[in-house]
């Protein structure tokens, strides 16, 4: 006997609609929180720049082209963000030891400290927000979000 695909398709469609609605809400809230986190690093910092600081924290000194490639954004956009971060004293540029024509970008000590302070506050906020969740639910949510991110990474809309 052949399964009824129309009811399966309807169930999948309904689940995807619900998922899309919840993700839209989550992204709006995340965007709002990004402003708050960025302001904790520096009152004049744009939210998009926070991710660049985290990459530099994780990877160390990097060239502009490598930063742009790692976030999947054009070099002019990243260049503008880096210039703003440099103006705020959060990053600095120096000649790349492997290629004197290029510049290596890294966090300043003040940038490192301000980023760590913001990350500590963000982590504390997550602890408070998720205090009544079971650890297994947090782990499952983390796993499912990682799976979703991997799915996004392999698909070019």
The CA dihedral of 146, 115, 32, 13, to the nearest 10 degrees, is -10
Please classify residue 11 by burial: count the beta carbons closer than 10 Å to its beta carbon, then call 0-12 exposed, 13-18 middle and 19+ buried.
exposed
Q: Which of 73, 38, 40, 67 is nearest to 52 (CA)?
A: 67
Residue 56 in contact with residue 97, Cβ under 8 Å? Answer: no
The Cα 123–Cα 119 span in angstroms is 6
| pTM for this prediction | 0.74
Q: Which of 86, 77, 99, 12 is nearest to 56 (CA)?
A: 86
Q: What's residue 64's pLDDT?
A: 92
Residue-wise pLDDT for 92-147, tens only, equals 999 877 777 788 999 999 999 999 998 998 899 889 989 999 999 999 999 999 99
Q: What is the CATH number of domain 13-154?
A: 1.10.10.10
Domain edges within the chain: 13-154
The Cα 75–Cα 90 span in angstroms is 19
The Cα 137–Cα 152 span in angstroms is 22
């Amino acid at each position: 006997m052949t399964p009824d695909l129309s009811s399966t398709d309807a169930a999948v469609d309904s689940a995807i609609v619900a998922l899309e609605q919840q993700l839209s809400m989550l992204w709006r809230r995340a965007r709002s929180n990004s402003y708050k986190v960025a302001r904790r690093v520096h009152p004049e910092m744009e939210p998009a720049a926070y991710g660049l600081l985290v990459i530099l924290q994780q990877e160390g000194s990097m060239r502009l082209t490598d930063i742009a490639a790692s976030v999947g954004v054009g070099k002019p956009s990243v260049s503008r963000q880096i210039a703003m971060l440099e103006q705020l004293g959060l990053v600095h540029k120096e000649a790349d030891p492997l290629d004197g024509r290029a510049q290596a970008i890294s966090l300043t000590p003040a940038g490192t400290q301000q980023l760590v302070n913001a990350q500590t506050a963000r982590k504390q906020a997550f602890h408070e927000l998720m205090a009544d969740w079971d650890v297994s639910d947090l782990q499952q949510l983390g796993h499912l979000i990682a799976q979703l991110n991997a799915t996004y990474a392999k698909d070019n809309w």
